[in-house]
């Protein structure tokens, strides 16, 4: 395994977090502490606010017009919604991988990986690109065409490229929004294996609508559900085994056993 950033035990938690899109109260009173250097899965039916919750953690939620947040997200005890916090600096510590692979179409494969690197130049920059590509197991597949377009890669390769791009910045937390939902089963399995491997270096939060995936990749699982007014709430969170085999809440049990959603 190629050395990436030294693992840091960044603590991440939300307290009484509420998120809104205009008048819509999308997320209500979510308080959840993520275990450092572990994978936490956010599960729940469509519209339960899991993606919104994920997007509040790196403050990408707020770029939508009419979007706002109340409550706190604490990264190493510091509220990221404090006016003194620069969202740019925050997003360099909290990386994100999206639902569909979104490589930058006009940049080469190498430039995609290095696009978030502002300080490194020359050889150091190339090393960072190689390191990130090796970390996602893509180096051997693309090392001979680093200068070509990422659009020629398969969907799974593109998604790993996007992961490499996020890792190159050396974040401490990695947020993943249904990262395999647009991929075929084999590519999905690759990504899941990668997530497992990365979990000893990063605090990972993954949104998934696939319960088997949550069971396979996560150490902890948080179950969310929308209330009558459509606001997403955290129902229950625990070690993944506990959630799947001994859910405490009736609604969690119903969801896990496939009774709805």
Partner 1 sequence: MKSYRSRRIADAVGVTWSFLCAFLAAAVLLIILGYIVVKGAAAINWQFLTQLPHPVGIEGGGVANGIVGSIITVGIAVLIASPIGIMTGLYLALFSRGGFASTVRFLSDVLSGIPSITIGLFAYALLVAPFKHFSALSASFAFAVLMLPLLVRTSEEAIRSVPRAILEGALALGMTTFRSTLRIVLPVAWPSIVTGLLLAIARVAGETAPLLFTAFGSPFWELNPTNPMAVLSLQVFTYAISPYRSQNVQSWGAALLLVVAVLALNLLARVLLRTRIRAAP
Looking at 1, 6, 46, 65, which residue binds partner 1 (CB under 8 A)? 65
- Report in angstroms how near the CB of residue 28 gets to partner 1 at its nearest: 24
Looking at the Cβ atoms of 54 and 195, the one nearer to partner 1 is: 54
- Report in angstroms how near the CB of residue 197 gets to partner 1 at its nearest: 21
Q: Does 84 bind partner 1 (CB under 8 A)?
A: no
- Report in angstroms how near the CB of residue 240 gets to partner 1 at its nearest: 26
Q: Does 116 bind partner 1 (CB under 8 A)?
A: yes
Q: Does 92 bind partner 1 (CB under 8 A)?
A: yes
Cβ atoms of 13 and 32 within 8 Å: the answer is: yes
Cβ atoms of 38 and 216 within 8 Å: the answer is: no
**Tokens found for residue 211:** 């319960």
- Report in angstroms how near the CB of residue 119 gets to partner 1 at its nearest: 12
Taking contact as CB under 8 A, which single stretch among the options 69-77, 83-91, 129-137, 197-205 is the one that binds partner 1?
83-91
The closest alpha carbon to 161, from 185, 187, 123, 186, belongs to: 187
- Report in angstroms how near the CB of residue 57 gets to partner 1 at its nearest: 11
Looking at the Cβ atoms of 104 and 139, the one nearer to partner 1 is: 104
Residues sharing a CB contact under 8 Å with residue 130, sequence separation 6 or more, in sequence order: 139, 143
Binding mask 30-59 for partner 1 (x = CB under 8 A): ----------------------------x-
Q: Does 151 bind partner 1 (CB under 8 A)?
A: yes
Rg (CA), the chain: 18
- Report in angstroms how near the CB of residue 43 gets to partner 1 at its nearest: 22
Name residues contacting partner 1, limited to 162-201 (CB under 8 A).
162, 165-166, 169
Tell whether the torsion through CA atoms of 21, 183, 214 and 257 is positive or negative.
positive
Binding site for partner 1 (CB under 8 A): 58, 60, 63, 65-66, 88-92, 95-96, 98, 100, 102-107, 115-116, 151, 162, 165-166, 169
């Amino acid at each position: 395994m190629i050395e990436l950033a030294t693992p840091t035990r960044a603590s991440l938690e939300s307290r009484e977090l509420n998120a809104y899109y205009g008048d819509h109260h999308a997320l209500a009173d979510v308080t959840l502490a993520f275990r450092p250097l572990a994978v936490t899965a956010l599960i729940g039916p469509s519209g339960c606010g899991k993606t919104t919750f994920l997007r509040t953690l790196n403050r990408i939620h707020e770029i939508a017009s009419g979007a706002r947040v109340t409550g706190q997200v604490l990264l190493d005890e510091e509220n990221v919604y404090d006016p003194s916090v620069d969202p740019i600096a925050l997003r360099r510590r909290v990386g994100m991988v999206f639902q569909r692979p979104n490589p930058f179409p006009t940049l080469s494969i190498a430039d995609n990986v290095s696009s978030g690197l502002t300080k490194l130049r020359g050889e150091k920059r190339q090393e960072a690109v190689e390191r990130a590509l090796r970390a996602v197991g893509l180096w051997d597949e693309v090392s001979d065409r680093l200068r070509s377009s990422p659009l020629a890669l398969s969907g799974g390769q593109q998604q790993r490229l996007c992961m490499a791009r996020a890792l190159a910045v050396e974040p401490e937390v990695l947020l993943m929004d249904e990262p395999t939902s647009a991929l075929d089963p084999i590519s999905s399995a690759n990504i899941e294996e990668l997530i497992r491997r990365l979990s000893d270096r990063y605090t990972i939060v993954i949104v998934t609508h696939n319960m088997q995936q949550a069971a396979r990749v996560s150490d902890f699982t948080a179950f969310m559900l929308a209330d009558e007014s459509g606001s997403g709430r955290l129902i229950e969170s625990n070690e993944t085994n506990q959630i799947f085999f001994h859910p405490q809440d009736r609604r969690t049990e119903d969801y896990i056993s496939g009774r709805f959603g």
